[in-house]
Structure 1
Amino acid sequence: MIHLVLGGARSGKSRYGETLVRQYTALGFDACYVATAQALDAEMASRIRLHQDGRAMDDIDWQLVEEPLALTARLKRLAKPGRVILVDCLTLWLSNQLLAGNPADEPASTDSDFAITVATSSKHDALAQWRQAKAEFVGALNALEGAVILISNEVGSGIVPMGELSRQFVDEAGWLNQAVAAVADNVTLVVAGLPLVLKSS
């Protein structure tokens, strides 16, 4: 079962995703939290701590897994009957992938050689590799056992950003969300903390 949860910044999408996880743990599922964020600066480190503190205070016994790049391979290993996985979030995974294409950046720690491959390629090659990684990710979703809840940002409702990389991010995020929504069993848009059902199995 794949459930895509979309929302803007501070929309309540992560909290809603955790509410869905709680419904599964009440049925006896074990819970796994897959974090795609990287603490590359103080502000992001503070955001990560905020999420960590929130999870520490809830009633879910989380297994935490950090995976900034090799998300598909990680989910294939983690998914199993009786387990619910919350991935937070797909747009940070996309950012990691796009930024890994800049040779000036150090590749993120991962159990895959994908980061090294991307970091040593041209920007064009990195974009092509991202699109291949996205296709592999979307293609793998319906074969995953158990329940997978995917959090993603809805970034297409604002103005077109300045800068090539920013525009590329918005385009790729929109296409990623469309591709995942097409194969997901359920899709929910969260606005101001309120879930709006877009697709239901």
Structure 2
Amino acid sequence: MALQKLTLVLGGAASGKSDIAESLVTQAGGAAVYIATAQAFDAEMRQKIDRHRISRGPDWRTVETPLDPGSAISSLRAGEIALLDCATLWLSNLMLAEADLVAEEARLFAALAGSTAPVVIVSNEVGAGIVPDNALARRFRAAQGGFNRRLADRADTVIGVMAGLPFVLKGDMP
């Protein structure tokens, strides 16, 4: 199965979007590269990262890059297929680092445009919940929603996930 150049897999927290995205990459048949944006700030997150790495198995090459996934995308080799998991943590990391979100988004989009390898990106849909009760959370929700829209606009395929079930929002199911 051939993946398009850019696929976005979008859903709520714990919706099954990472499982769907991993399946898309493995079924495509190339050398799988996992671009990880998570940071382990506590033991629970370290355990979660370890569980995910074990469940993917040894066939995945993992690149940990919490702030600069564009560099990992730019260095992809012929025959590789990348899974960036996830854009939501990447954006959170940038906000915590007080980075220039506009500049960092532009760098990521430039790397995606220049990549010859297919890339699947996982991102959380954050707009379906209640209005957050604090300014930082509202700023994050607005930034994530805007980024998701711009990413979906550039993507060849957009797949929503709810309760572990994928549904196509744009393009065709690979």
TM-score by length of 2: 0.91
**CA deviation string 1:15-57 (max 9, x = no partner):** 00011011212xxx1110110000011222222122122112x
Aligned residue in 2 for 1:170 = 141
Q: 1:92 aligns with which of 70, 89, 93?
A: 89
Listed as ranges, the gaps of 5+ residues in structure 1 are: 102-125
Q: 1:12 aligns with which of 16, 34, 53?
A: 16
1:156 positional shift: 0.7
**Superposition map of 1:13-162 within 5 A:** 13-25=17-29, 29-56=30-57, 61-78=59-76, 80-101=77-98, 126=99, 129-162=100-133
1: CA distance, partners of 2:171 / 2:27: 16
Aligned residue in 2 for 1:185 = 156
2: CA distance, partners of 1:139 / 1:175: 17
For the Cα contact (< 8 Å) 1:34–1:85, is it kept in 2?
yes
For the Cα contact (< 8 Å) 2:69–2:84, is it kept in 1?
no
For the Cα contact (< 8 Å) 2:39–2:66, is it kept in 1?
yes
Q: In structure 1, what residue type is equivalent to 2:81? A: V
Q: How many residues align?
A: 168
**Any idea what SS the aligned residue of 1:145 has?**
coil
2: CA distance, partners of 1:160 / 1:42: 29
1:192 positional shift: 0.5
1:177 positional shift: 0.6
1:132 positional shift: 1.4
2: CA distance, partners of 1:53 / 1:71: 21
Q: State the percentage of identical aligned residues.
A: 46
1: CA distance, partners of 2:27 / 2:43: 34
Please, what is the CA RMSD of the aligned residues? Answer: 1.4
2: CA distance, partners of 1:185 / 1:81: 20
2: CA distance, partners of 1:199 / 1:142: 18
TM-score by length of 1: 0.79
**Any idea what SS the aligned residue of 1:158 has?**
coil
2: CA distance, partners of 1:176 / 1:30: 28
